[in-house]
Chains A and B, each alone.
Chain A
Amino acid sequence: MRQSRRLVPALALLLCGALPRPLAAQAHGTIVIVSGQYPGLPIPTLTRGLADNDIQDLLFLRLARLGPTLTTSGDRDFIPQLARRWTRRDDRTLVFELDPRARWHDGVPVTARDVVFTFTRARDPALAPAHATALRWISDVRAEGERTVVISFAKAYPTQFFDATWQVPILPAHLCDTIPPAQLATSAFARAPVGSGPYRYVRGEPGQYVELAAVPGHFLGAPALERVIYRAAADGEARINFLLSGEGDGLEQLSLKSQQDRFAGRADFRLVTLPTFQVLYALFNTRDPADPAAPHPVLGDVEVRRALVEALDRATLARALFGDAATVPIGPASQSLWVQAGPDPAAAGDTARARARLAARGWADHDGDGVLDQGGRPLAFTLIYPGTSPPRRLAAQLIQARWRALGVRVELEPLEFPAYIDRRNRHAFDVDLTGVGQDPNPAGLAQGWSCGGGTNVGGFCDPGVDSLLVRAETAPDGGRALYQQALRRIADDAPAAFLFAPANVVAVHRRFAHVTLRPESLWIGLAEWSVTPGRELPRDRAAP
């Protein structure tokens, strides 16, 4: 087996009890998780968003899941789920041996046929376009007997194991193969999914909640929490009110300081901060929106971009918006990306240096209107962002004020999300205050930051960065140093002001012990949670 490298500190949070929880003889207790979405399709290959993924990861198992370090390179840090062991035949072939104890919730054993069926669905671009893209280097999946699966790849690369195990949980072929693929979303199976995970589906009220129950004697360890209620509330205030009124136990995405302050003085809740794959930045369009073949008349100049970044005290901005729940990254790197290069030492900015940089390029306030100009052109541009995003709305206003103090006129242009995406895709913007949810695999950086990257809407192009990213992707050691070089090189060219790598702040009721939260799938460790004896609420005792 190819050895992976342990590249980031442990990220799993064991908040209560440093040692693993002893297996519970009898599950008891209820957790009510509040979310912004209703999990309408928690089915592998069909999931639509965070809520679907949350429930999918409790109902269904993968061959293996990411370990504490979130390292996607190699296989050393992965935790067995449906596969109890694996071997490598050559640099393009992985062989998985399924755990004979694994059962679907209807009692049928999990077999190699299930794995082959799932990958056949997931690799079909007509059925699961996103999965098919992620699995594009898998050339063949075949069964060798009941319990052995062989996965072949079109090329050798370090994250083969991640693609083979994490990208798609396994579906039950005996229940799904008679359903035409196009009808899976509307089938009885989709309304009451049968999985192999530690929780089974009980019922769902569309738009309101989903109820799951622990699977007694689950082969990976019996869950200690008997019941999971996943409750939907699209409005942020309603979500917080669910918890403050005592009707909810867990809520994530309390990243803004104003949201965290709502829990001040509430001894029954603790706020847990954990890293995310999110990163926010103000992306400069280096190409002229009117003529993409030409450089942007203002932002095409690297010195202007560097001055704009230096004028921002990003450390103070981060504190003002997120409290202690965000860092300022070097380049486009979220806190959870295992190749991230740590916080940016230049986050405090340097306004004097920014002024000097602009002056050296001939920008001065020649007409006394408070805005710098050069050859009659004012240093002015627009900043677009989705108006429905509170963090970006607040950040845009703060950035505008900072740049105005430098002598830059910035027009804010909040847009409806689809209109915002349309403008981005057409490269019709000057500065885009954007937020990205990164893939755990750093190879995804090439999409946004290589010359031909599919989501590179700012026109940034540095062959040196391209070369580093290509070499990193195929480096036998996972390529951490090369990725970090690329991140630093990107940051130095200032194609964006890399503002925040926010953490996820999660409110959790204090009666829970053995609390484990995971950045890649927040509630995936719920089976390990338990209710502290003597601190039960009525809903814990009322669980069926």
Chain B
Amino acid sequence: MAGWLARRTAHAAVTWAGAVVALFLLLRLLPGDPLASAADLPPETRLALAHLYGVDQPLLTQLGHFTAGLLHGDLGTSVLYGRPVVELLAAHLPATLLLGLAVLLTDFGLAWWLGNRLAARAGSRADRWANRALLAGHALPPYWLGLLLIWPLALTWGLLPAAGLADPLLPAGAGATRALDVARHLVLPWLTLTLTTLAVPLRHHREAVYETLASDWVRAARARGVPEGEVLARHGARPSLGPLLALVGAWLPMALTGSLLVEGVFAWPGIGWLMAESVGGRDLPLATGCAALGALAAIGGMWLADVLHRLLDPRVAA
């Protein structure tokens, strides 16, 4: 296991490094002015800014500087914000992780719990209605659903905050009050994202369990008189866990970047919006930093899924 883990980790690290270099180059091939935010300034000023941010250097020189900086934990300075990229990513990552992990836990917790039950009642009225509701949620544009939820719950009845991560009026260090406040702010974006993303893992898991329940060993278990609850839990759900875990791995980068529109409509200070802003504004240092983080989430997610799968089922080859 230790050897496999070392090989798998090294493979992930090399893949990430290659992805970062590729993303670095691809971002610089995008058409557009990297100093668009300084468009109104005279040409001589723009030239000075280009020199300040190094975007006037040859591509390979820029790559060399980026690589040297990366090894020292320095991703450069954002053109849009004038701040170190690492500082910006560190400031925005917690909000993204909070929202992303809350949605991920809800999605996969519900997918596991409800998927098992719907698979056991496949074709029933409950199964059909659940499918319709899930597909309806999946089809809703998150931005629009967010506005639809804000309107009654925040604007009309004032039950929840309309946007933001925390109430700025709370004093610093308010402890439990602040935690409760963040939880209240989390409800609407979490609900919006959960309603629009739940369908995929739930249907995925329901199908996996349904197919497992039709397998020979399940029929054999039933023939042996194993109670139906145990058949479902031990012989149906558990062998179907692998595909669900693989989906968790693919879900992690989505947790990082997939909530872009929801972050926008709820003024959620996360990485998604930062990434969109940096690419849209051709802030190349920041966009490269965001892309490197996205690649880390994607490759790290796959690594995590592989490791978990291996732990749960040692028969799985590397």
**B-chain residues with CB within 8 Å of residue A542 when the two chains form the complex:** 169
**Do A205 and B166 touch across chains, with their CB atoms under 8 A apart?**
yes
Tell me the bound Cα distance from A233 to B277 in angstroms: 13
**B-chain residues with CB within 8 Å of residue A17 when the two chains form the complex:** none
> Among B17-25, B85-93, B226-234, B244-252, which stretch is in contact with chain A?
B85-93
Tell me the bound Cα distance from A241 to B40 in angstroms: 31
Tell me the bound Cα distance from A242 to B77 in angstroms: 31
B150 → A minimal CB distance (Å): 6
Tell me the bound Cα distance from A208 to B39 in angstroms: 26
Partner of B162, one of A41, A207, A242, A436: A242
**Do A244 and B265 touch across chains, with their CB atoms under 8 A apart?**
no
B267 → A minimal CB distance (Å): 4
> Among B8-16, B41-49, B64-72, B190-198, which stretch is in contact with chain A?
B41-49
Tell me the bound Cα distance from A111 to B151 in angstroms: 53
**Do B32 and A419 touch across chains, with their CB atoms under 8 A apart?**
yes
A302 → B minimal CB distance (Å): 27
CB interface residues, B 45-69, toward A, < 8 Å: 45-46, 48-49, 51-52
Tell me the bound Cα distance from A419 to B30 in angstroms: 9
Chain A 127-162 per-residue mask, 1 if CB under 8 angstroms from chain B, else 0 = 001101100000000000000000000000000000
Chain A residue, CB-CB nearest to B50: A129
Chain B 133-155 per-residue mask, 1 if CB under 8 angstroms from chain A, else 0 = 00000000000000100100011
Interface size grouping (class) on chain A: 35 or more
Tell me the bound Cα distance from A447 to B40 in angstroms: 10
Please classify the interface of chain A as helix (H, G, I), strand (E, B), loop, or mixed, using the class held by over half of its residues. mixed
Partner of A421, one of B32, B92, B161, B267: B32
Tell me the bound Cα distance from A17 to B52 in angstroms: 48
A366 interface residue per 8 A CB criterion: no
Task: Tell me the count of chain B residues lying within 8 A, CB to CB, of chain A.
Answer: 59
**Do A454 and B269 touch across chains, with their CB atoms under 8 A apart?**
no
Chain B residue, CB-CB nearest to A437: B40
**A-chain residues with CB within 8 Å of residue B172 when the two chains form the complex:** 203
Partner of A130, one of B41, B80, B92, B265: B41
Known contacts: A418-B33, A436-B40. The answer to whether A126 contacts B162 by CB under 8 A is no
A125 interface residue per 8 A CB criterion: yes
CB interface residues, A 185-201, toward B, < 8 Å: 185-186
**B-chain residues with CB within 8 Å of residue A186 when the two chains form the complex:** 83-84, 87
Tell me the bound Cα distance from A235 to B88 in angstroms: 19
A82 interface residue per 8 A CB criterion: no
Known contacts: A129-B48, A229-B169. The answer to whether A234 contacts B163 by CB under 8 A is no
**Do A447 and B83 touch across chains, with their CB atoms under 8 A apart?**
no
A416 interface residue per 8 A CB criterion: yes
A238 interface residue per 8 A CB criterion: yes
Partner of A544, one of B39, B166, B171: B171
**Do A48 and B82 touch across chains, with their CB atoms under 8 A apart?**
yes
Tell me the bound Cα distance from A455 to B171 in angstroms: 47
**Do B164 and A208 touch across chains, with their CB atoms under 8 A apart?**
yes
Known contacts: A40-B83, A542-B169. The answer to whether A207 contacts B39 by CB under 8 A is no
**Do A234 and B81 touch across chains, with their CB atoms under 8 A apart?**
no
Partner of B82, one of A41, A233, A419: A41
Chain B 83-113 per-residue mask, 1 if CB under 8 angstroms from chain A, else 0 = 1100110011001000000000000000000
A432 → B minimal CB distance (Å): 12
Chain A 5-40 per-residue mask, 1 if CB under 8 angstroms from chain B, else 0 = 000000000000000000000000010100000101
**B-chain residues with CB within 8 Å of residue A237 when the two chains form the complex:** 147, 265
A292 interface residue per 8 A CB criterion: no
A46 interface residue per 8 A CB criterion: yes
Tell me the bound Cα distance from A132 to B168 in angstroms: 37
A372 → B minimal CB distance (Å): 32
Tell me the bound Cα distance from A49 to B36 in angstroms: 13
B38 interface residue per 8 A CB criterion: yes
Partner of A231, one of B30, B83, B168, B171: B168
Tell me the bound Cα distance from A241 to B163 in angstroms: 8
**Do A425 and B33 touch across chains, with their CB atoms under 8 A apart?**
yes
Known contacts: A130-B45, A133-B45. The answer to whether A418 contacts B169 by CB under 8 A is no
A163 interface residue per 8 A CB criterion: no
Partner of A242, one of B43, B84, B267: B267
Chain B 155-190 per-residue mask, 1 if CB under 8 angstroms from chain A, else 0 = 100100111111111011000000000000000000
Partner of B40, one of A40, A247, A455: A455
**B-chain residues with CB within 8 Å of residue A282 when the two chains form the complex:** none
A174 interface residue per 8 A CB criterion: no
**B-chain residues with CB within 8 Å of residue A503 when the two chains form the complex:** none
B188 → A minimal CB distance (Å): 10
Partner of A208, one of B52, B168, B171: B168
B217 → A minimal CB distance (Å): 52
Please list the 5 inter-chain residue pairs (A to B) with the smallest Cβ-Cβ separation, ordered nearest first: A418-B32, A207-B269, A206-B91, A233-B267, A129-B48
Instruction: Please name 13 pairs of A and B residues whose Cβ atoms are closer than 8 Å in the assembled complex, sorted by A.
Output: A38-B269, A48-B82, A130-B41, A231-B168, A232-B267, A235-B264, A244-B162, A245-B154, A247-B161, A420-B36, A425-B33, A455-B42, A544-B171
7 new A-B contacts at CB < 8 Å, known A48-B80, A132-B48, A207-B92: A32-B169, A126-B52, A207-B95, A238-B267, A241-B154, A244-B162, A418-B281
